[in-house]
Each structure stands twice: as structure tokens, then as C-alpha cells.
């Protein structure tokens, strides 16, 4: 089973060999409010970057800005030495994002959801049942699933979509201990194959990465007025 999952990820990753992403002096905003200032980091192949910090600091905002769901106030995003700062639509096509919303159809079964994404991205003929076995997922309607089962279904999508850079926003949320072990396993296997993972989490120790970014260091400095 483990070898089959590795083979699936290898097939998915062959389509596009991204080797680097560089975030330069990035300012993130929501509306007119600056959430983060001068965020800088770079990742080459086989890197796991862990983003952490207290609630509300801007972990999700940072990932959504990198993905292109939120505008860039200042800074740059370079992927594989090409500047994608002003091209959010093309940027989205280079990244594989799993957020708080699982992007799944409640009226479909788990298999139908995964098959939909497989057809949508014209991916390799992944053995979806092998993925479901790996995650311990029954083929039931999504509306009857627990939140943990929905999260596992969303994470199974990572092995289907052939993109080399993963953006994972609190991927361990709603997962049981076995699910967390499976998550760490696929992230490590992605790393072995040369993939990059940028992960926001409240539990940085889970991924055992040396590359941990504390977002509190990039919070805008408050002005002090003398009175």
C-alpha cells in the first residue's frame, strides 16, 4: 500500500517539475488593513516550510495571498525563477492548495468527489480506491461523513493533482491521530520526490521541519504617539 501511494505521487509530480518558490518582502492585506509586512522566505526542492503563530496573526491570509486569492500590496512571488507577482491566475496553476474549506461536493460520494477532481485536472489515471484505502475512507455520500473524513478526502486530492508546490492551511485540523500520521507520511514522501510543502499549523512539531517561520515577527509595527 505504501509503495502504491508513492507511485501515485510520483506520477502526479512528473507533469510539472517546480524546484523553487521565493517570497520577497511581501505585504498581505485584507481590505485596507495590512496584516503582515515584509514576509521573506525561499524554498527549493524537497523543503518543508512550517508557518506558525497565534490565532488571527495571518497564517491563512499569507497562504491565500501566495495562491492569488488575495491581492499583493507590496512584494514579489517568484516560482522557478519566473516572476508571478502580477499574474495570480497563472500562479494558481502552479500551486496545490488545501484550505479550511475542503472544495468538495456534499451530494457526491467520496469516490465521485475524487474522480471529479481527477477529470477536472486531466491527471494521471490514479487508482482512487487505493487512495481511499490509504486514508481509510468508505465510499459513502459526503454529506454523511464526519469532518475528519471530509478532511481526509480533501487531502487525498494532493496525490491526484500533479503540482509540485503544496500550500496546506491547517491540514491536521479535524484529523484523528492515525490521520495525522498519514498526513505526515504523504508530506515526507512529497519531500523525497523533490516537492515543496508550505504548511500553516498550530503544531509545528508535527512535521519535524527545521524551517519554521513565526509570523508574529512580521506583524505590522504599531505607531506610538507622544502626547
- Would you say residue 226 lies in a domain? no
- Would you say residue 102 lies in a domain? yes
- Would you say residue 227 lies in a domain? no
- Which residues form the domain of 33? 2-218
- Would you say residue 186 lies in a domain? yes
- Would you say residue 10 lies in a domain? yes
Question: What pLDDT is stored for residue 5 in this prediction?
Answer: 58
Question: What pLDDT is stored for residue 18 in this prediction?
Answer: 46
* Nearest residue to 43 (alpha-carbon basis) of 25, 63, 59, 20: 20
Cα distances from 227 to residues 129, 220, 221, 222, in angstroms, run 67, 22, 19, 16
Burial class (CB in 10 A: 0-12, 13-18, 19+), 197: buried
- Would you say residue 224 lies in a domain? no
496525490: which residue's cell?
A: 159
Per-residue pLDDT tens, the chain, 227 aa: give them: 656 555 555 554 444 454 799 999 999 999 889 999 999 999 999 999 999 999 999 999 999 999 999 999 899 999 999 999 999 999 999 999 999 888 899 999 999 999 999 888 777 667 899 999 999 999 999 999 999 999 999 999 999 887 899 999 999 999 999 999 999 999 999 999 999 999 999 999 999 999 999 999 999 876 544 55
- Would you say residue 207 lies in a domain? yes
What CATH number should be reported for the domain holding residue 177? 3.40.50.300
Q: State the total domains in the chain.
A: 1
Amino acid at each position: 500500500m505504501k509503495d502504491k501511494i508513492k507511485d501515485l505521487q510520483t506520477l502526479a509530480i512528473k507533469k510539472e517539475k517546480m524546484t523553487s518558490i521565493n517570497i520577497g518582502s511581501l505585504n498581505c492585506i485584507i481590505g485596507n488593513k495590512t496584516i503582515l509586512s515584509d514576509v521573506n522566505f525561499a524554498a527549493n526542492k524537497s523543503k518543508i516550510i512550517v508557518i506558525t503563530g497565534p490565532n488571527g496573526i495571518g497564517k491563512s491570509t499569507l497562504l491565500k495571498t501566495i495562491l492569488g486569492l488575495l491581492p499583493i500590496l507590496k512584494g514579489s512571488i517568484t516560482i522557478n525563477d519566473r516572476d508571478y507577482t502580477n499574474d495570480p491566475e497563472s500562479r494558481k496553476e502552479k500551486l496545490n492548495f488545501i484550505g479550511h474549506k475542503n472544495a468538495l461536493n456534499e451530494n457526491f460520494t467520496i469516490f465521485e468527489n475524487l474522480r471529479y477532481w481527477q477529470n477536472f485536472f486531466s491527471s494521471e489515471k490514479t487508482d482512487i480506491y487505493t487512495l481511499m484505502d490509504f486514508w481509510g475512507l468508505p465510499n459513502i455520500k459526503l454529506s454523511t461523513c464526519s469532518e475528519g473524513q471530509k478532511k481526509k478526502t480533501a487531502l487525498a486530492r494532493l496525490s491526484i493533482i500533479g503540482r509540485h508546490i503544496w500550500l496546506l492551511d491547517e491540514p491536521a485540523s479535524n484529523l484523528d491521530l492515525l490521520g495525522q500520521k498519514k498526513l505526515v507520511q504523504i508530506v515526507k514522501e512529497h519531500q523525497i520526490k523533490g516537492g515543496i510543502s508550505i504548511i500553516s499549523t498550530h503544531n509545528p512539531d508535527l512535521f519535524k521541519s527545521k524551517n519554521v517561520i513565526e509570523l508574529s515577527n512580521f506583524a505590522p509595527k504599531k505607531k506610538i504617539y507622544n502626547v
